[in-house]
Amino acid sequence: MALLLPTLVAVGVALLPVAYLVVRATEAGWETWQEVLARPRTLELVVNTLVLGFLVTATTLLAGVPTAWLLARTQLRMRGMWSVFAALPLAIPSYVAAFVWVSSPLRLQGLFGSWLILSLSTLPLVILPTVTALMTSDRTHEEVARTLGLSSWATAFRVTLPRAMPAATAGALLAFLYVLFDFGAVSILRYETLTRALFATYRASFDRGATAVLALVLVALTVAAVFVERRVRGRAGRHRVGSGSPRNAQTVPLGRWAPVAYAWLTLLAFLGIGVPAISLTNSVLTGQQGGVDAAELLSATAVTAWVAFLGAIVTVALALPVGILLARYPGRRTAVLEQFAYAGHALPGIVVGLGLVFFALSVAQPLYQTIALLVLAYAVLFLPKAIGATRSAVETAPPVLDEVARSLGRSTWGAIRSVTLPLAAPGVAAGALLVLLSIMKELPATLVLRPTGVDTLATELWTRTNVAAYSAAAPFAVALVLVAVVPAFLLSRAYGRLGEGDQ
């Protein structure tokens, strides 16, 4: 199979960081393992991470499900606007939101700050799938329940909610993963989680063995969470209504609850969108007196665009054969390859960064501190996105077209080039754009791997925020919001729905 070799290369790239973490941690020896795992500090970090994770997850469920119900099932005025407001916080990188709140007069920090900001950022992960589930569930079930004597409240709790819960739970688990992965927000807000500690140990010491062990502890958590998330999502998928056109779900009038509903939606929109918007606008206006360093902003933007461009090209090039293979030869063996190629799904940016540092230091010294290594990290992180886009794009081109091309004298690659690729091109291009935008916002791997003197918008913002140079940081935050939110908004308009979040 002509596709197998390039696919194995992509899988190799995807597994590289974890492989070198394991190599490094093994070399460190049993004593290091014992020492790291027995440290009270390790336990504290794990507990801190999990506490934040559980708090955020619970919050997203408790706040997200009622919000989703408001958006899907009530006669809300300007429902479209509220839906966009509910989805947009996901597009704002968590470290930008953290910067906004830490530089606000409230100076939010620590567990409370991290909880609030990450909850606001991940709320859309629950709201969006729950809205979909509530809108697509056939109202016949509810009508049957009513004819069987249930009140509308009882119907909501015994019929509607159970049907929406799998989607909500899957979303909440994504929120949990988001917290495990998050580096920027907790770092800026000074809350000690595993990601933040990893970066600190890596910076402070040369005890790479201990860093590798700690990184593997985090990987164990993320892999477990990804595993559970997949199981739940699989079940959520089965609960969904199949093909056919279910009748529109019935909406109820808000009645005397209207003020409460609008107040709640306004509060969410204010916290999620309003505060960042006001704060950033304000800092731009006042920043003009402080003097924005236009040259640095321009150079950081150029660097960001350049590395994101390179990263997107490499990622899509690696993803193409994998996506075609998965679309054309679905089966148990290709599914295994898929799992490995999706390693980036379970690896936080900081872990990928550290893994590639270890890789460069032990076998590829010349790569250390190069843009090539940085681009490799982006490929590992965003391969899943690119593979997903390629796969669904290729699936729209019927395989019989390939076969006709073969019967007319084209080789496997010839058929891919002249038939599959032209048909899949729009989908692949959209995937490349998605990867490009994701890279532009990437922080932790960039922070660890960037060559000295190479600064992206994200690292500039992080560096300045870390030394509390808030007004100097603001222009970078504005630039990042423009990069993050505007395309997300346009894409959501183009596809008629708000896409999945990043991270």
Measured CA to CA, the distance from residue 322 to residue 374 in angstroms comes to 22
Measured CA to CA, the distance from residue 182 to residue 441 in angstroms comes to 13
Q: Token match 């509220």: residue?
A: 82
Nearest to 179 by CA among 221, 215, 220: 221
Using CB under 8 A, which of the segments 101-109, 416-424, 433-441, 482-490 binds another protein?
416-424
- For residue 320, the one-letter residue type is L
Interaction between residue 418 and another protein (CB under 8 A): yes
Using CB under 8 A, which of the segments 90-98, 224-232, 412-420, 493-501 binds another protein?
412-420
Residues 6+ apart with CB under 8 A from 421: 428
Measured CA to CA, the distance from residue 62 to residue 82 in angstroms comes to 18
Q: Which of 107, 414, 468, 494 binds another protein (CB under 8 A)?
A: 414
Q: Which of 408, 429, 468, 469 binds another protein (CB under 8 A)?
A: 408
Least distance from C-beta 392 to another protein, angstroms?
A: 17
Interaction between residue 410 and another protein (CB under 8 A): yes
Least distance from C-beta 406 to another protein, angstroms?
A: 4
Instruction: Report the site for another protein in 129-158 (rule: CB under 8 A).
Output: none
Please say whether the beta carbons of 25 and 358 come within 8 A: no
State which residue, 253 or 414, has the beta carbon closest to another protein.
Answer: 414
State which residue, 79 or 410, has the beta carbon closest to another protein.
Answer: 410
Token pair listed for 63 = 């706040």
By rule CB under 8 A, what count of residues binds another protein? 17
Q: Is 247 helix (H, G, I), strand (E, B) or coil?
A: coil
State which residue, 5 or 294, has the beta carbon closest to another protein.
Answer: 5
State which residue, 365 or 407, has the beta carbon closest to another protein.
Answer: 407
Interaction between residue 428 and another protein (CB under 8 A): no
Q: Which helix (H) or strand (E) holds 348?
A: none
Measured CA to CA, the distance from residue 128 to residue 338 in angstroms comes to 26
DSSP 342: G
Least distance from C-beta 413 to another protein, angstroms?
A: 10
Least distance from C-beta 421 to another protein, angstroms?
A: 10
State which residue, 44 or 403, has the beta carbon closest to another protein.
Answer: 403
Please say whether the beta carbons of 397 and 422 come within 8 A: no
Q: Which of 371, 423, 430, 433 binds another protein (CB under 8 A)?
A: 423
- Classify residue 427 by burial, with Cβ atoms within 10 Å: 0-12, 13-18, 19+: buried
Q: Which of 34, 286, 411, 466 binds another protein (CB under 8 A)?
A: 411
- In the structure, how many helices (H) and strands (E) does the chain have? 23, 0
Least distance from C-beta 13 to another protein, angstroms?
A: 29
State which residue, 261 or 419, has the beta carbon closest to another protein.
Answer: 419
Using CB under 8 A, which of the segments 201-209, 410-418, 433-441, 460-468 binds another protein?
410-418
Please say whether the beta carbons of 152 and 146 come within 8 A: yes
State which residue, 12 or 422, has the beta carbon closest to another protein.
Answer: 422
Interaction between residue 409 and another protein (CB under 8 A): yes
Torsions phi, psi for 444 (to 5 deg): -60, -45
Instruction: Report the site for another protein in 347-406 (rule: CB under 8 A).
Output: 398, 400-401, 403-406
Please say whether the beta carbons of 192 and 44 come within 8 A: yes
Token pair listed for 3 = 């596709």
* Number of neighbouring beta carbons within 10 Å of residue 60: 30
State which residue, 230 or 406, has the beta carbon closest to another protein.
Answer: 406
Using CB under 8 A, which of the segments 179-187, 408-416, 451-459, 470-478 binds another protein?
408-416
Token pair listed for 171 = 């979303």
Least distance from C-beta 419 to another protein, angstroms?
A: 6
State which residue, 110 or 398, has the beta carbon closest to another protein.
Answer: 398
Q: Which residues bind another protein (CB under 8 A)?
A: 398, 400-401, 403-411, 414, 418-419, 422-423
